[in-house]
Amino acid sequence: MERRLQRVLAEHGVASRRKAEELIRAGRVSVDGTVVREMGVRVDPERQDIRVDGRPLRPERRRYLILHKPVGYITTASDERGRRTVLDLVEVPERVVPAGRLDRDSSGLLLLSNDGDLIYRITHPRYELEKEYEVLVDGFPPPSVIEQLRRGVTVGGRPVAVRSIEPIRTEEAGTVFRVVIHEGRNRIVRRMFERVGYPVLRLVRTRVGPLRLDGLKPGAWRDLTRRELEDLFRAVGLTPPAAGSPRPGREGRDRPVSRGGGRPPSGRPRRNFDGAGRGARSLSRLPDRRRDRRAGRGRQEHRRG
């Protein structure tokens, strides 16, 4: 499948998209023997010979992670304001990115991966992948308001398609609902309840498609199991990768967030190429990530599920 060249470089773990654009402009990237310097060129990495500094592009091993995002972290790969991001919690050598979003004040299940096709299908509304939330609202909405939410309130000029919404219990502060939707507009659940006059006090995402948060503590993450991976791929209409092609998931392997709040808020360190751009046939070498992979595995805490 053809994709923009800078996206392909990012997916293969070469650099971030912004850094990949710098590599292209510097003349360090070639496609089928021709140096490419302009942005927007579309390539098929399965059929074309793509090289950086004269060395062929090697596919990065696919990685699929579940994270229990805590409150206080933003769902992005990096933040110019130095705020804590979800990638400060996940220490892996692969360049994973979040699939979808959870706002800073929300918590719950977040999938991270370096599989661009899967991320696209998880986040695009046409594939109608369900997301389930447990939501505490301020107050006790009457049945008429609940029915209004079921029919679909209008937010931002468009109705919110609610699959189901049910009150499951009450607390001192208000009512707890279980909400299932398949769209992913920014803060859509919060905006939906605010629209009917009941602001959200707490929001936890408990499920994405077939994946559930069960047993994972805030700040902890783990690889998907083989069964979870197969179920997720089928849920979005993709053929699951052959056994052994992704990194094997292991139930119960997770890393809880440290008391200090994870890694420093400066964001995830970037992997860059050494040396200045000298054209596509430069002798500079791509970085060896084997040592990084061993270090990344060593930092994780292994626990039985």
pLDDT (tens place) for every residue of the chain, 305 residues total: 788 999 888 777 677 677 889 999 999 999 999 999 999 899 998 889 999 999 998 777 889 999 999 999 999 887 888 899 999 999 898 888 899 889 999 999 999 998 888 988 998 888 889 999 999 999 999 999 999 999 999 999 999 989 999 999 999 999 999 999 988 788 999 999 999 999 999 999 999 999 999 889 999 999 999 999 999 999 999 988 877 554 444 433 454 444 344 444 444 444 333 333 333 333 233 344 444 444 444 444 434 44
Question: For the chain, give me the number of helices (H) and strands (E)?
Answer: 7, 17
Sign of the torsion formed by the C-alpha atoms of 85, 89, 92 and 97: negative
CA 12/CA 33 separation, integer angstroms: 19
- 138 tagged catalytic: no
Same domain? For 91 and 227 the reply is yes
Same domain? For 150 and 91 the reply is no
Same domain? For 176 and 70 the reply is no
Q: Which CA distances in Å does 213 have to 69, 94, 132?
A: 10, 23, 10
CATH number, domain at 243?
3.30.70.580
**What's the CA angle centered on 224, arms 218 and 227, to 5 degrees?**
135
User: pTM of this prediction?
Assistant: 0.69
Pairing type for strands 107-113 and 97-99 reads: antiparallel
Kind and range of the H or E run holding 179: strand 174-181
| Residue among 103, 138, 231, 292 flagged as catalytic | 103
Domain that holds residue 19: 1-59
Q: Which tokens is 238 given? A: 């993709």
* Length of the chain in terms of residues written: 305
Same domain? For 98 and 87 the reply is yes
Q: Say how many domains are in the chain.
A: 3
